[in-house]
Every structure is written in structure tokens, then in C-alpha cells.
Structure 1
Amino acid sequence: MRAVIFPGQGAQGRGMGRELFDAHPELVEEASNVLGYSVRELCLDDPEGRLGRTEYTQPALYVVGALAHRRRREEGGAEPDFLAGHSLGEFCALHAGGAFDFATGLRLVQRRGALMAQARGGGMVAVVGTGQESLRALLEDGGFAGATIANDNTPDQQVVSGDTGTVDALVPHLESRGVRCVRLNVSGAFHSPLMRQAQQEFARSMEGFTLRPPRIPVIANATARPYPDDDPARLLIEQIVRPVRWTESVRYLLDQGVTEFVELGGRVVGRLIERIRSAPRPAPVSRSHSRTPATALGSALFRRRLKVRYAYLVGGMYRGITSPEMVVRLGRGGMLGFLGTGGLSLPEVERGVKAIQRDLGEGQPYGVNVLADHDDPRAERGLVELLMRHDVRVIEASAFTRISEALVLYRARGLRRGADGTPVCDHRIVAKVSRPEVARAFLAPAPEPVLDRLRRANELTDEQVELARQVPVSHDLTVEADSGGHTDGGVATAMMPAMQALRRQAQEEHGYAEPICLGLAGGLGTPSAVAAALMLGADYVLTGSINQCTVESAMSDVVKDILQDADIHDTAYAPAGDMFEMGAKVQVLRKGVFFPTRANKLFSLYSHHDGLEELPAKTRSLLERTYFHRSLDQVWDEVREYLRSQGRETDIAQAESHPKQKMALVFRWYFFHTTRIALEGDPHDKVNYQVHTGPALGAFNHWARDTEFAYWRNRHVDRIGLRLLEDAADWIDSTYRRWQEPAA
């Protein structure tokens, strides 16, 4: 098989393309008209010494690469099986693959070069003779958290990008450790997050262009895999801030059977390829019987009980962010996801459940989230009744502070007596808890007063009540440490042992025939975090925040683009809209938005004033202009209409006679509104986006930089889950081996 490749910046030189310009005068003239200067003169003579400047280098290389491709095709060169280009060369590869015509590509390259040339405050360092892992260790050892390995050119040649201060300190740090390095003559930190502004400007420039899926596979620098058929423009935009994974790209081509590489427009990347070919490759990870398989992690009892292949769950995120598509993909992969129902109407939930049941095969696992409704228990009851009508066998109970009647009804209705007389549970509740008193309630049998009330109403049989006294409300309890959304900010290493003690007490006190399983959630965004959860004794793990930034998530693409680059410190705590008056907290994104500050301001105003009329005129005007984008009277009209549509006339009457309660309802509207605009990706009000997420996503983004998951459009929930588990198994195995090594 054959691959045609194109070089990037660094391959330029006076006289380049000399043999091409006379052969294609019409293209040369078209290029000069687009650029506004003679590209022939620039490449052949460079009288003004501009060829080494980024804004001129990139268009020149593109023209030469495109002309070389044209000549090769006219001379009858065999069509390649793959195309690839190093950095700027990727534009040549896409043009050769038919993604855009010559002039379109040149305009894009001219804009890209101009934007990158404008970058200031950064630099790049070439590092020779050190592998990527060794270099990472050196960066970590020196505390260079802001440095990015921008180019992985060969196994022993890397390029690091960073801000000016980082680069100034990095060179002596590396040289003092005997590492050869050279500071490059560039003004910006190319292929790093510091190029974000240039990337955003380039994205705006591309809005008028149409990119077609390449007819020949083109290997993307950002993923080291072929460009996808859907939205190729997005991956090209991402290239500006993503590392050039050249070593991995070449190895991918070699693995596909490529034996011949033809370089057009230079001789630089061909030499890199020879070094990659000749370098020893890391031994592939073996999944032999001597290694722990991902299917062996966690509790076998839990996997059997929930009918999953892997002890891996995905929590239900608000307003269907955990979508039917996400639940189905997980179920097909042997994992269990919970459809997010909070904030959805019953018809919307019903459509989601039907879609899941239609698309999953018999026995494939799925569940539905039930979020505690502190305002309207009737809505909670209606949801549970709907799920029972559709024979949903597993639910996730979230944000409960007590055992509600709806939960007891669901649990008890699913009980029957087995052949040996012990209870058989057809309805499973996976409860998410963060406080010991709530855990105790779920680990105990259903409250007697609730059972009695349901029995008197003939909603439970005598046998169901009797059996409900013999089982806990939940056999599967998820301990939730600090996380996105509702959180008590708990620490896993403190919470898990305490919850394990509560489990032992409950098991001994009630003598349950079936053991209780404990899972762990919160902060799980990397294989080592998953491994740590399992080492703490978790029977299963549950992830949340990391799944919001995936293909299957119902969150808007605009928010996913933001989340993809979130770091571990890009979150903050804000009041929870559904428990506003109680002062409960949620963890949300703070990067690029004002929501956390504004939400906390609303709670402060609520705490210090007894009604909307007490608000200072200036404050009220600010709220109406920047928070609500309408008058507070208009907000109240909308709230009142909503309550009326839900049959909550009593709430309207109480609010109109109690100013403080009315204020709470009006302020709550802001929380609903900010969630909605984030889900819709409203481009006009990004600063008010409310996005629930925790630091696990930032940790995941760090880990994902060097994997196929660097770009969210490559993030599929089942593949993420499997990779986390497999790498966690390796982490555990390697840790045990290290512990067993003899002392020096």
C-alpha cells in the first residue's frame, strides 16, 4: 500500500518548487491573485526575505505541495491508499483528497498563517534524543504544568510549546539534565491551548467554506486516525491547538500495510518516517490470562444482579443529557446507563424509554434516573408509575434526603416470593447518597408508616408489604464523593470506609439474604482514579461529568467544545435551582461563564431581602438587563403560567400572599433558563450557561490528550468506559508488581 505525504513549516527554502511553476502557470497566477503578491517570486527568489515568516511560509508550502500533487497525477502516478501531512501539510493532503479546491485551500492557509503569525507571548523548544514519556517525566519533575508536547515527530524528537516564561525556564532545566534542546524562532506556542484565540478566529473564517469528506483517507494530526465523514472542518479547526501526533500517525499507516511513502513538496517528513520505521516500537499490551481482564473488576454479584458485563455505570444527567442514544450504546457494550429524566415532562420520558426498549436487545441492561422532586411529590409519583407501566426494572434514585412514597411503591411492587421463601427483587433501586443518614435510610427496609399507608390504599398486597420488611430499599448504594451537579463535597477516602461500616451494620441488624453492594462516584475521570475506587473496595464505579462531553450526550455542541478544554480548576459551587431556598449546592462550570457568580448573587439577595419589592432599583435593573433579559414582572408571569399548567394553583396563591416565596420562584426561573440555553447552545447568551460538571472532566481531558479521546467527537461512552476499566486493570496489576519487587 502507498501513502502520499506532505511536509509542514520548516521544509521551506529559497528555490523551492522551481520545477513546478512553469508547468502550471494558470494555478500560479490564481495563487498570486488570491495572495496579492507573486508566489513564484517569493518561492524562487525571496528578494525581501519573507519566506521564513509564518504568514508567507504557510501559503508558499501549500502552493508547492498542491502543484507537486498536480504534476504527480498528470504524470500517471498511482492513486495513493492514504494521504497525510505534517501540520500545515495536512491542508495539502486534504486538497489532494478532494476536501476542497486549490483556491479554497489557499485562502484557508493564508488566514491560518496570518493568525498564527500574530500569536505572541509563547514559544517552542525542540527536544532531541529523549522519548515522549521521559520528556513528560522531566516536565513534571520541573513543575512545567503549562507546557505541551506540541509535536511528536519521532520516538526521540519532540517539540514543546509554552508561554514565554515557561520556555525561558525550560531550556536550562532540560540542559542541566543533559537533554539536547533548541529554542525555535517562533513567536507563538503553536499546537497548544495557548493558540485558542487564533483557533477561534480561524473557526469564524471557515464559516463561509464547505469542506467535503475526503475521497481518500486523510490521517488527521490531532487524532492519528482518518478524518471522519461527518464535519471534517471541525477537526481541521482543532488542529491549531492540538499536538501533531506524527509518530502515531506513521505507525497507524504502517499497521494498515503501507510500505511506500511518497513525499511531495519537500524531503523533511520522509526522513522522520525512516526514523520512526527503524525505532523499536513499544510492546503491545497483552490481554493474556496473566493480566486482569476488565470484566473481572468489581463485584461478580453486582454484575450478575444488574445483568452487566462490566461493573461500570453512567449516571442520569439532567434534562436528558444522558440520552436514549447514550443508554443504548452503553447497554450494547455490556454497561448500564440511566436515562436522565430531571426536568423532562412525562411524555418526553416515555418517548425516551420506548426508544431504549426498541433499540436494545433482550437482556441488555438499562435504567432510568428518578430525581427527587422536593416541590411536587405528585410528579415523582407519576414518573414512577410510568416506569412501572413500561416494566423498567432498574432505577437510579438521586438527590433524595428521605425515602419517598414513590420509591417504596416501586421497590415493593417488584417483590415476589422465591421457591425457597426468600424475597426475589424484580425492581432494583441504585441509590446515590453522600450523607450517612441518607445511606442508613436506603440500607434499611422501607419505613413502616409508608408501607402501612400504601397497604391501606390497596396499592400493595399483604405479601408485598411483608417482603418489603425483609429487604433494604436499595441493595446497591452509590457513594457520591465531590462531583458535578448536586454535591456535598465529600472525600472518597473518608466516605467509603464509613459507608462500608454502615453496610456491615445493616447486614447484621436485618439479616438480609442478599448482600448489599457499594459503588463509588465522583471524581472518576482517569484509569488511576477508577483503580483507586476499586482498591477502596467499590463493587462498581459510576461516572458522570466525563460523559457529558461525548457524541451521545444531548448537551449542545457549543458547550461540548468548551468542556473539551476544561481543566480541573474550571469549576465552582453555586446554589441548586431545585433546592434554592435550602441553600443546597451544585458544582458547575465557571470557565467562560458568569453563571456561578450570578447564581450566588441571587441567593445572597434572597437571604437578605423579604421580597422583590425590597430590591434596590439599581440591583433590579441589573438583574433584568443581564440575568433575565426581561422584567421581573414578566418572569413572574411565565412562572405563574407554568405552575398553572402543572395544576399547582396552591403554589401560586401562596407566592402571591408571601413575597419571599414569590422571590424564590422568580429567582428559580433563572436556573431553569440557564440550563435550557446551555442545552440549546444559544449563541447569544453564553455567559449565562449553567453546566453541571466536576473536576473529573478536567482530569479526563488531561489524560485524553494523548489518546483518541482528545477530541470530543471521538468520545463514545462505551469506548471511554472500556478504556478506563482496561487501563485501571493494568494500573492495578503494575502496582502489585511494583510492590512485589525486591528492595535494592
Structure 2
Amino acid sequence: MTAWLFPGQGSQHRGMGAELFDERPDLRDRADDILGYSIAELCREDPEQRLADTRFAQPALFVVEALGHLRRIAAGQRPDFLAGHSLGEYAALFAAGCFDFDTGLRLVRRRGQIMARASGGGMLAVVGPRADTAGALLVAEGCTELDTANYNAADQVVLAGPTADLSRAAGLLKRHGLRCVPLRVAAAFHSRHMDAAAREFAAELDEVDFHPPRVPVLSNVTGRPYPDGDVGALLARQMRSPVHWERGMRHLIDSGVEDVAEIGPGTTLTGLWRSALRAASGGTASRRTAPPSAEAVSPARRPAPAEPTRYGPPPDARRLGSAAFRAAYGVRHAYLTGSMYHGIASVDLVVRMGRAGLMGFFGAGGLRPERIEEAIERITGALGPDARFGMNLLATPGDPVLERAVVDLYVRRGVRYVEAAAYTRLTAPLVHYRFAGAHHDGSGAPVAVNRVLAKVSRPEVAEAFLRPPPGALLDALVADGRLTPQEASVAARLPVSEDICVESDSGGHTDGGVALTLLPTIRRLRDVVAGQHPGAPAPRVGAAGGLGSPEALAAVFVLGADFVVSGSINQCTPEAGTSDEVKDLLATVGVQDTVQAPAGDLFEAGGRVQVVRRGTLFAARAGRIYQAYRRYAALEEIDAATRRAVERDCFGGRSFDEVWAETRDHLARHRPADLDAALRDPRRRMALVLRWYFRHSTALALRGDPEGRANYQIHCGPAMGAFNAWVRGTDLEDWRHRHVDVVADRLMHATAHHLRDALRRVSGEEAPIVARSAQS
């Protein structure tokens, strides 16, 4: 991954961008019209030495950096992240599509004019080991009128404030072994002393219609990517807020960025990037870092290279898991987001993952085929015809017609990736999906175009997916016209699934399984089965459930997981298709706040799922309903007290008769065979009425109905509590910042760091134990 960095004021010099203006004469001429002078002459020759003037330096830098960006785009290059130091942030936002060239140039021209009028005060660069503690040292000495304006690196900050206070501060800090260099500026930029100027510029920003960034852009104010809708607000704060450059560089490292390109004059930001890499890999910033000598808020120039560190570069999260898995799914991490039923794993979630070079499964469980097809339309419309995305295929033993209809839809729409969940045995529709379109390639090797990622929690179920389908099942599919004889011949040579996901301790059907025992057991089973089918590819084995912290991901990778699939944590993201009320509740959940409860889809069979118990009575009430089903043979036999309690507490005041009437109408429209069976069998009719509570409780949660909060059914494992604990005190504590791709990147990169540190400890090497938060 690559980030493009745009330097700020102080990096300008005569001759900058000289070769760029003739490449885009249209933009050069527009800049001349907006500014009222020749931008090419100013940058190439600077005949009146105006580049030292903020009013001219800021527009000139923006034009040069914008043209440099466009040159790279024309050459077919694309960044994964964008960042700009102070003024450079405007070029980064232009590159991300937040505004057009003309708008950006007008903004920076006005910004330069406003900043040039500010006077009084100055800035002081502080260089040396632990320079980032300078602010605290000064407060301890009673020097409270200064602000830290730039956090450039651990060994380099810039202070801003009144000139007299800066002189006093220089003397104090030199006694602490820190080097202080005054900057040639006329005001205390990026400090409280710019409040009036910032308010004036905020009025200018209010007139601009900003677009959401197409590429993540790091904000100077937060050191984190701009959230959608916050561009104007953060730019308004930028003029008076410190530049958190070091924090932004740490975010890039944790997000997997390995290379940067500095677009604009100088190599200042490249040097700061190297300093951040050294700090991330266990080294320290060089004591020989040169102090800044440029005007305004320029970061220091060209830090000297540090000594080699003992442990090498930061770990690469993209190497975790199976490279073959990443290639097969077209993703940059061996990490997927699982399907959460009723569209909780939403279109927005799947699209966001796809745009980030990752992949998610849409939560099709519980939805009718027409709703599922609408979701496919929206996903492919957003991601394009070559989109990488997956759909859920949920086992529906009580409704085989629905399973067949969903499979027919997936085959017809060319869905290539399916997550198969809750299967206890192979079914004809599942095998049909897997081998529809299967063929032999030019060398005679078997090829299946559709991939099934099977979630399993029992070895015997895993074994069924690890082997080719039974011959009798293939014969029946051929006889039924669902597979051709050629497709069936390919199926006889390939496993039903090339990717087995061991699910434990999740919000799904897991039989109470534990990853520590299940994952190694099923890996060994995979090896045995693969040895019996030497011509077939050996399926990969991954893990799901309980994955809410770097330590949990690290554990399953050490156990041999080829990939991971996250689940519960993703329903507490802005993209999840559930209510804000549920997300507010989930953000408070601890690891102890979940419990097993009866499952609506496997009600009669006694199936159980894990749900949230904090703030809801669903588990207790579902248990009461299931006990009534076990105790009685018909609705009419249920005792009066139980009936009143269920109708009042679970059915929202509806009577059994009213619920049956609603259920009967639904079955008449969608499942007439089930209606006939219920009319003949009183116990079946009772089950259908009691199961209504599970649909009702899910709908209450999805809507966020405040009156029905006690009945919210929220499938969730303890991973949610572990994640909440991990992000406490960081920007991800608020679920509104937990974008699903950000969660994926933070977890995977923190996992890589955790594994590196853990391996040092178990190998006996001395290394500090550092608890890595979601922010570090």
C-alpha cells in the first residue's frame, strides 16, 4: 500500500513545478484568471521574491501539488491513502475529489490572505530526544501561553505563541538538552492565537459544498481519516489546532502502508515518514535530525538516518494467513466479514469492504429472494461488473423451496462467492450452486467457478464439505436437470468447499465449540481427507467467532488458520443494517454480557444461538416460550397464566389467535404446503405461533423500537465485548467511527504487531511488553 504526501508552507522554492505548467495549460490559465497573476512565472522565476509571502506561497504550493497529483494519475498510478501537512492538506483533499481545482485554489488564496493578516507571536522548533514532552515541561515551569503547533515526530515539535514566551521557553528547554530554533514567521499558526482568523475562514468554508473523500485522507486535526461529512468542520479547526502529523504516520503504518510518495517540493515529509517507521519498528528517532529552517509551519527538513534496529521493519499484516486465500478472493488481507442475517451485513457494508480491497458477505438469511436480488443489483451497481463480494446461503431445513429459489437466483446472477451457514448436512441446492458451470480446463483439470465458504462447528459436518459430494446426490441433480453430466463429473473430483471456516463462540449456531480444540481437530481432519484425494486441492481452514481483539486473531493464526471471518463486531459499525439503538447498546457490551438462547430457525429441534442479555429480556422470554413448546402438544393446552404472560410480554399484547391469523396469511402467500401441514397438526401450528416471537423480536431490534427494547433479539458473541475493551479511549470508542474497513485494518495490523512481540517473548528475547490499542 502507498500513501501520497503533500508538503506544507515552507517547502516552496523558486523553480518548483517548472515542468508541470505546460502539461496542463488549461489549469495554468484558470489559475492565472483566479489569482490575477502568472502562476508559472511566480514558481519558475519569482522575480519579486513573493514566494516568501504567505499570500503567494500558499496558492503556488497548491497549484504545484495539484498538478503533480494529476501527472501521477495520468500515468495510471493510484494511492491507498492521502495526507498533507498543514496547507498540503488542501492538495490531498483535492486529490480525493472533495472539491474541484478552482474551489481549492480560491480557498487557499483566501486562507493565505487571512493568515498573512495575523500578526504578533511566532513559532519555535524543538528538536531532540523526547521533544514531544516539551509542552508538558513548559507547563510545569509556569509557561502557559504557548501551544504545541506541530507534532511532527517524537524528536521534533513546533511551539507557537507570544514572542517573549518563546524566548523564555527556549532557555528552559535548552537546559533539558533540547535544541530550539526560531522559525521566520509573523504569527503563532496552529494555536489558540489564531482563533479570530479561524472564525473568519470558517465563514468562507461554510459556502463550499464538500464531497466525501474517494480515497482516505488523514486530517491534521485528528491524525485519522476524514469521516464522511466532516471536511468543512475539520478544515475550520485546522488553522487553530495542532498538526498531528506523527499520529497520522502511525495510522498509515498500522493500516499497512509501506511506501510513500512526496508530491511537491522537497523531501521533508519523506524524512518524517522514515522517522515514524523507525519508531514503529522499535528504533528511536535520530538525535542528528536537522532543525527546520523554513517559514511558517514547515516540519523539520531531512532527518539523518537512524542506526539499524534490531528487529527489522514493522510486521506486514498482509502476510498473515494464506497467500492462496488472498489470491482466490482478491483481497489484501486474509480477512472477510461474515454475513449477519436480515441484511445486518448490509449492502453498504459489503460495498465499503469492496472499495477498500477487502470482501464481505451480504446477510441474505431471513430475506425473500426479491430482497436478495435487489441487494445484488445495488452491490454490483456500486462496485462494478468485476466486483468481489459474497452472499449468504443459510440452511433452511423447514423451507427447502426457499433454499432452492435463492440458489437459482445466485446461479442466474453469477454470484461467485457464497458463505454457507447452519448446514448440518449437504443439500441438493447447495451442491447445485457449487458445481453450476463447473468444467475441465484445457489440461483436463477440474474447475469450479463458484466458491463455497462453509461455516462449521462439528467435525462430521466439516468432513462432508471437505469431500466431493456423494454420487447419489450428483445423480439426482443430473436426473433433475440441475447439473449436466459434465458438471457432475467435475464435482466428483472436487471438494464441496475449498474453504472451511471453523465457527466457535459466535452469535451463530456453534454448539458451544471452542476454537482451541475445534480448529486443530478440523485441520487434522482436512489433512487426512486431502491425503485420500490426492488429485483434489487441499481445502483451506479458517476461523470465525470470538474474534474481537488482536490477541484473539493472533491465537487462531498461531493455531494455523488460513484466514479469519469477523462477525459480531461488524454490527456495531455505521454500515451495519440495524438500528442506532442496537448499536448504542452493543457499544456498551462486555465479554460477560451474552448468553445462549433458543434459535428461531431451529426452534423445534432445540437449536440455540448466542445473544446479548445486557439491556434486554429476550433470552429469558425465548426460554419460557421454548419450555411451553416442549411441555404442551397444542396451543389450547397451554395454561392460562403462561398464555397471558406470553401474550403480554412477548407478543406485545397480541393474542394467540391474532398471531395465528397473521402467520396463516403469511404461509398462504409464501409456503402453502406448510400451512396445510399446520392445519392438520396442532403441535406444528403451536410451533409456528410461538416462533412468531423470534421474527417479532428481530424486527423490533432492526427498527430500534424504543417501546420494545426489552424484547430486542441481538445475535452476538463475546467478541463484541473484547472489541469494546480494546478500543476504549481511542477514536473507535464511538461506534460512528468504526467503519468496517477501518476495523479490519486496525485489527489485522495490531495482530501483526502482537504476534511479533509475542514471538520475541516466547523466544526469550528482551522486548518491552506494549499494549497496543486500536489507536496506536
Q: TM-score, normalised by structure 2?
A: 0.61
Match of 1:643 among 661, 667, 671: 667
Deviation at 1:560, TM superposition (A): 0.3
**What is the aligned partner in structure 1 of residue 658 from structure 2?**
634
Q: What letter matches 1:533 in structure 2?
A: V
Deviation at 1:636, TM superposition (A): 0.3
Structure 1 residues 558 and 284: CA distance shift in structure 2, 3 A: farther
- Deviations along 1:683-704, one digit per CA (max 9) or x if unpaired, are 1111010000000000000001
- Deviations along 1:236-283, one digit per CA (max 9) or x if unpaired, are xxxxxxxxxxxxx967388799xxxxxxxxxxxxxxxxxxxxxx9997
Q: How does 1:256-295 map to 2 (within 5 A)?
A: 284-286=279-281, 290-295=313-318
Say which SS state the counterpart of residue 760 (structure 2) adopts. Answer: helix
**What is the aligned partner in structure 2 of residue 266 from structure 1?**
none
Looking at structure 2, the residues matched to 404 and 283 of structure 1 have their Cα atoms a distance apart, in angstroms, of: 54
Match of 2:738 among 715, 724, 731: 715
Deviation at 1:293, TM superposition (A): 1.0
Q: How does 1:208-223 map to 2 (within 5 A)?
A: none
Looking at structure 1, the residues matched to 439 and 120 of structure 2 have their Cα atoms a distance apart, in angstroms, of: 67
**What is the aligned partner in structure 2 of residue 252 from structure 1?**
244
1:492 aligns with 2:515: yes
Q: Which moved more, 1:348-357 or 1:302-311?
A: 302-311
Q: What letter matches 1:252 in structure 2?
A: H
1:472 aligns with 2:477: no
Looking at structure 2, the residues matched to 403 and 213 of structure 1 have their Cα atoms a distance apart, in angstroms, of: 63
* Contact 2:223–2:245 (8 Å) recurs in 1: no
* Contact 1:213–1:228 (8 Å) recurs in 2: no
* Contact 1:531–1:728 (8 Å) recurs in 2: yes
1:502 aligns with 2:497: no
Looking at structure 2, the residues matched to 374 and 667 of structure 1 have their Cα atoms a distance apart, in angstroms, of: 18
Q: What letter matches 2:404 in structure 1?
A: R
1:547 aligns with 2:570: yes
Deviation at 1:594, TM superposition (A): 0.6
1:312 aligns with 2:307: no
1:332 aligns with 2:324: no
Say which SS state the counterpart of residue 583 (structure 2) adopts. Answer: helix
* Contact 2:435–2:449 (8 Å) recurs in 1: no
* Contact 1:422–1:513 (8 Å) recurs in 2: no
1:615 aligns with 2:638: yes
**What is the aligned partner in structure 2 of residue 582 from structure 1?**
605
Q: How does 1:370-385 map to 2 (within 5 A)?
A: 370-385=393-408
* Contact 1:522–1:696 (8 Å) recurs in 2: yes
- Deviations along 1:8-34, one digit per CA (max 9) or x if unpaired, are xxxxxxxxxxxxxxxxxxxxxxxxxxx
Deviation at 1:650, TM superposition (A): 2.8
1:537 aligns with 2:553: no
Looking at structure 1, the residues matched to 668 and 559 of structure 2 have their Cα atoms a distance apart, in angstroms, of: 49
**What is the aligned partner in structure 2 of residue 681 from structure 1?**
704
Q: What letter matches 1:490 in structure 2?
A: G
**What is the aligned partner in structure 1 of residue 269 from structure 2?**
none
**What is the aligned partner in structure 2 of residue 25 from structure 1?**
none
Q: How does 1:357-376 map to 2 (within 5 A)?
A: 357-361=380-384, 363-376=386-399
Structure 1 residues 670 and 299: CA distance shift in structure 2, 3 A: same
* Contact 1:332–1:364 (8 Å) recurs in 2: no
Q: What letter matches 2:706 in structure 1?
A: P
Q: Which runs of 5+ in 2 are unaligned?
A: 1-7, 10-113, 122-135, 138-153, 155-202, 211-217, 235-240, 250-274, 283-310, 768-776
Structure 1 residues 309 and 626: CA distance shift in structure 2, 3 A: same
**What is the aligned partner in structure 2 of residue 427 from structure 1?**
450
Looking at structure 1, the residues matched to 640 and 465 of structure 2 have their Cα atoms a distance apart, in angstroms, of: 48
Q: What letter matches 2:647 in structure 1?
A: E
Q: TM-score, normalised by structure 1?
A: 0.63
Deviation at 1:618, TM superposition (A): 1.8
Q: How does 1:42-53 map to 2 (within 5 A)?
A: none
Deviation at 1:447, TM superposition (A): 1.9
Structure 1 residues 705 and 223: CA distance shift in structure 2, 3 A: farther
* Contact 1:547–1:553 (8 Å) recurs in 2: yes
Looking at structure 2, the residues matched to 561 and 79 of structure 1 have their Cα atoms a distance apart, in angstroms, of: 46
Looking at structure 1, the residues matched to 723 and 341 of structure 2 have their Cα atoms a distance apart, in angstroms, of: 21
Deviation at 1:513, TM superposition (A): 3.1
Identity of aligned residues (%): 44
Looking at structure 2, the residues matched to 677 and 532 of structure 1 have their Cα atoms a distance apart, in angstroms, of: 36
Q: What letter matches 1:406 in structure 2?
A: P
Say which SS state the counterpart of residue 684 (structure 1) adopts. Answer: helix
Deviation at 1:500, TM superposition (A): 0.9
Looking at structure 2, the residues matched to 349 and 579 of structure 1 have their Cα atoms a distance apart, in angstroms, of: 22
Looking at structure 1, the residues matched to 622 and 739 of structure 2 have their Cα atoms a distance apart, in angstroms, of: 32
Q: What letter matches 2:280 in structure 1?
A: V
Say which SS state the counterpart of residue 485 (structure 1) adopts. Answer: coil
Deviation at 1:653, TM superposition (A): 2.6
- Deviations along 1:76-99, one digit per CA (max 9) or x if unpaired, are 97899xxxxxxxxxxxxxxxxxxx
* Contact 1:223–1:711 (8 Å) recurs in 2: no
**What is the aligned partner in structure 2 of residue 441 from structure 1?**
464
Looking at structure 2, the residues matched to 588 and 624 of structure 1 have their Cα atoms a distance apart, in angstroms, of: 22
1:356 aligns with 2:379: yes
Deviation at 1:432, TM superposition (A): 0.3
Q: How does 1:192-203 map to 2 (within 5 A)?
A: none
Looking at structure 1, the residues matched to 531 and 276 of structure 2 have their Cα atoms a distance apart, in angstroms, of: 54
Match of 2:749 among 726, 733, 744: 726
Match of 1:695 among 708, 714, 718: 718
Q: Which moved more, 1:452-461 or 1:340-349?
A: 452-461
Looking at structure 1, the residues matched to 739 and 663 of structure 2 have their Cα atoms a distance apart, in angstroms, of: 37
- Deviations along 1:522-581, one digit per CA (max 9) or x if unpaired, are 100011111111111000000000000001100101100000111001111110001101
**What is the aligned partner in structure 2 of residue 177 from structure 1?**
none
Deviation at 1:738, TM superposition (A): 2.3
1:569 aligns with 2:564: no
Deviation at 1:440, TM superposition (A): 0.8
Looking at structure 2, the residues matched to 228 and 392 of structure 1 have their Cα atoms a distance apart, in angstroms, of: 31
Say which SS state the counterpart of residue 523 (structure 1) adopts. Answer: coil
Deviation at 1:656, TM superposition (A): 2.5
**What is the aligned partner in structure 2 of residue 599 from structure 1?**
622
Instruction: Say what the alpha-carbon RMSD is for the aligned residues.
Output: 3.3
* Contact 1:213–1:229 (8 Å) recurs in 2: no
Structure 1 residues 413 and 626: CA distance shift in structure 2, 3 A: same
* Contact 1:397–1:432 (8 Å) recurs in 2: yes
Say which SS state the counterpart of residue 497 (structure 1) adopts. Answer: helix
**What is the aligned partner in structure 2 of residue 560 from structure 1?**
583
Match of 2:539 among 495, 513, 516: 516
Deviation at 1:285, TM superposition (A): 2.1
Structure 1 residues 215 and 695: CA distance shift in structure 2, 3 A: farther
Looking at structure 2, the residues matched to 469 and 420 of structure 1 have their Cα atoms a distance apart, in angstroms, of: 17
Q: What letter matches 2:244 in structure 1?
A: Y
Deviation at 1:741, TM superposition (A): 3.5
Looking at structure 2, the residues matched to 739 and 713 of structure 1 have their Cα atoms a distance apart, in angstroms, of: 38
Structure 1 residues 231 and 613: CA distance shift in structure 2, 3 A: farther
Structure 1 residues 634 and 541: CA distance shift in structure 2, 3 A: same
Q: What letter matches 2:498 in structure 1?
A: H
Looking at structure 2, the residues matched to 319 and 718 of structure 1 have their Cα atoms a distance apart, in angstroms, of: 21
**What is the aligned partner in structure 2 of residue 186 from structure 1?**
none
Say which SS state the counterpart of residue 548 (structure 1) adopts. Answer: helix
Q: What letter matches 1:458 in structure 2?
A: G
